[in-house]
Amino acid sequence: MWIQKQLRLRPRSRGFHLIHREVLNELPELSTLRCGLLHLFIQHTSASLTLNENASPEVADDLEAQFNELAPENQPFFLHTLEGPDDMPAHIKASLLGSSLSLPVSDGRLALGTWQGIFLCEHRNHGGSRSLVLTLQGEPR
C-alpha cells in the first residue's frame, strides 16, 4: 500500500515546533499497517524537520539558541542578503538539519523511542505556512 498526502502547516514563529500530532492526524491509514515506512518531506529551503525529545520544552528552546550561534544573522561575508538578515542563516540551518525524515511503522504506529517527536524547525522570523509531503508505504495488517 502506498499513500501520499500534502499537509499544510499554519504559520509559526521562528523556533522548533512539535508537529507530531498534526502529522498523525493527517494519516489515519497508519493504523492499518503491520510494518512500513513514513517519509516526510518539507517543500521549503528555509525550514527543516527533525526528530528530537518531545517531553521537555526546554529542548526546543536550547536547539533554537544553539542553531542561532551556529548560523548568526548579519554576517559580513553573506552574499545572499536581499530577502532579509534571517534568510541566509535559515538556509544554512535547513541544510544542517535536512528536509526529510524517514520513520519506521510497526503494528499500526510509528516505531519511535519513548520521548521522540517530530518537529518543524522554522528558521525565518516570518516564514509563513509550510507544506509537507507525507508518503506512507507498508504491508497491511
pLDDT, one tens digit per residue, over 109-125 is 999 999 999 999 999 99
One-letter amino acid for residue 101 of the chain? L
How many degrees, rounded to 5, is the angle at CA 34 between CA 120 and CA 105?
Answer: 20
Q: Residue 60: which residues within 8 A CB-CB, separation 6 or more?
A: 15, 16, 17, 18, 52, 119
What average pLDDT does range 22-40 have in this prediction?
A: 98
| Arithmetic mean of pLDDT over the chain | 97
CATH topology of domain 2-73+80-140: Jelly Rolls (2.60.120)
Mean pLDDT computed over 75-86: 95
CA–CA distances in Å: residue 50 to residues 20, 32, 33, 75, 137: 11, 25, 23, 25, 20
Quote the pLDDT of residue 83: 95
**What's the confidence (pLDDT) of residue 74?**
95
Record the pTM: 0.96
What number is the average pLDDT over the span 85-106?
Answer: 98
Cell of 47: 525550514
Neighbours of 121 (CB within 10 A): 28
Q: Where are the domains positioned within the chain?
A: 2-73+80-140
Closest CA to 101 of 86, 116, 123, 90: 116
CB atoms within 10 A of CB 55: 10
pLDDT for residue 21:
98
